[in-house]
């Protein structure tokens, strides 16, 4: 796998409708897109960091600086046996999991295309389609939430996830559970609660939820362990888990009973697979989370979710729920709550470059630096 050059972009893709969580409202999804080129082929991936450090501590500006100024000049112009070799080379870099994931994921796409096989084959996937649920942002009213949940359940989605925050929780969840008594329903707090909200969390515990996702602080395993000991409903951790070691500690201490794996959050496909394997060793199910990705990130997620222990429906719902037009040519659409794996080598999608150009806010081309041959004069 040779890396000859790279292209970095900042892309801003307008959502069909605003998506509200406890963090705020998103109307346009702005993200880093990386293309790597070598041997006449291309690999592509997108970053999940935001402009402001709300979800995790990384930002778009920080990721661009690290990739453009430090990481890409170090890896371009070289031959790598595979993405694992590149990851080992960069293992001395601390943190910056999201920024490094962009490069690792793009290299996996490039490597799979070079071998002429789908990415899921290299990752060890076991299926050609995955079960998916839907994530519903905070709606204008309880009635609107129920209507939206019913509509998506009728479309066949295998799980309804409701975003919640203090003051928008028990009443709306109770209404949706009443409307959909036989549909798996979950809630995602995005770290908006603390143990001071224990009474509210205990009320949620009585509503028959499949799990409660990341109710407490983004970096607090201890309080999650305290809360899980008081709850019948399983807790699922998201923001707290950035490595397989995090997953082991969370499961060992009973801070959760299942894990949301976001490949961009944990540093790429290799670490995502390790988190998957650790959870399987604890008999804890995992599922593939989403970050409002375009078709590029969505395709990576679908391939990852083919691994055996992804036994809960993930967040890779139809692209048409989010975008009037995606940046990839191939439609990524579900039928009856099932998302097929995009066929073909790599992640199975190709860029709609003219449209991509129209939604690109910034672009930089990075070439391989000149290297001094061993033994030659400087």
Residue 163 known to be catalytic: yes
- 146: burial class by Cβ within 10 Å (0-12, 13-18, 19+)? middle
Catalytic residue among 163, 226, 249, 312: 163
What would the two tokens of residue 18 be?
């605003």
Residue 312 known to be catalytic: no
In the block, tokens 């679908």 appear at: 302
The three-state secondary structure class of 278 is: helix
The three-state secondary structure class of 264 is: coil
Q: Name the residue among 247, 260, 262 with its Cα closest to residue 300.
A: 262
First to last CA, the chain: 28
Q: Name the residue among 136, 142, 140 with its Cα closest to residue 321.
A: 136
Q: Name the residue among 23, 26, 24 with its Cα closest to residue 190.
A: 23
Catalytic residue among 29, 161, 262, 312: 262
The three-state secondary structure class of 372 is: coil
36 and 103 Cβ atoms separated by less than 8 Å: yes
Name every residue whose Cβ is closer than 8 Å to that of residue 145 and which is 6 or more positions away in sequence.
136, 139, 162, 172, 175, 176
In the block, tokens 């109770």 appear at: 174
Spatial separation of the C-alpha atoms in residues 57 and 300, rounded to whole Å? 22
Q: Name the residue among 307, 310, 267, 319 with its Cα closest to residue 289.
A: 310
Catalytic residues: 163, 262
């Amino acid at each position: 796998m040779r890396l000859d050059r790279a292209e970095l972009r900042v892309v801003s893709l307008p959502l069909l409708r605003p998506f509200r969580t406890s963090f705020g409202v998103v109307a346009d999804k702005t993200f880093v897109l990386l293309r790597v080129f070598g041997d006449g082929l291309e690999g592509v991936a997108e970053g999940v960091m935001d402009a402001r450090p709300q979800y995790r501590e990384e930002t778009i500006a920080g990721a661009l600086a690290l990739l453009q100024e430090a990481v890409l000049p170090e890896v371009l112009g070289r031959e790598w046996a595979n993405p694992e070799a590149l990851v080992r080379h960069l293992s001395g870099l601390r943190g910056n999991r999201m920024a490094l994931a962009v490069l690792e994921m793009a290299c996996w796409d490039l490597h799979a295309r070079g071998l002429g096989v789908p990415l899921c084959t290299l990752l060890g996937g076991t299926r050609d389609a995955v079960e998916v649920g839907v994530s519903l942002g905070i709606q204008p009213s309880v009635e609107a939430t129920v209507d939206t949940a019913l509509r998506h359940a009728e479309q066949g989605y295998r799980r309804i996830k409701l975003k919640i925050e203090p003051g928008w929780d028990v009443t709306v969840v109770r209404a949706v559970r009443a409307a959909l008594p036989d549909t798996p329903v979950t809630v995602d707090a995005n770290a908006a609660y603390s143990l001071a909200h224990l009474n509210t969390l205990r009320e949620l515990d009585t509503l028959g939820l499949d799990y409660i996702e990341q109710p407490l602080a983004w970096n607090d395993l201890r309080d999650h362990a305290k809360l899980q000991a008081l709850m019948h409903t399983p807790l699922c951790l998201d923001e707290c888990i950035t490595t397989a070691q995090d997953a082991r500690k969370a499961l060992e201490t009973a801070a959760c009973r299942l894990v949301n794996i976001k490949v961009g959050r944990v540093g790429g496909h290799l670490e995502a697979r390790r988190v998957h394997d650790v959870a399987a060793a604890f008999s804890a199910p995992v599922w593939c989370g989403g970050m409002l990705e375009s078709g590029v990130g969505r395709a990576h997620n679908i391939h990852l979710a083919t691994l055996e222990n992804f036994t809960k429906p993930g967040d890779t719902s139809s692209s048409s729920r989010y975008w009037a037009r995606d940046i990839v040519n191939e439609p990524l659409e579900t039928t009856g709550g099932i998302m097929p794996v995009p066929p073909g080598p790599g992640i199975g999608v190709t860029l709609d470059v003219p449209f991509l150009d129209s939604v690109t806010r910034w672009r930089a081309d990075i070439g391989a630096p000149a290297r001094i041959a061993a033994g030659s004069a400087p």
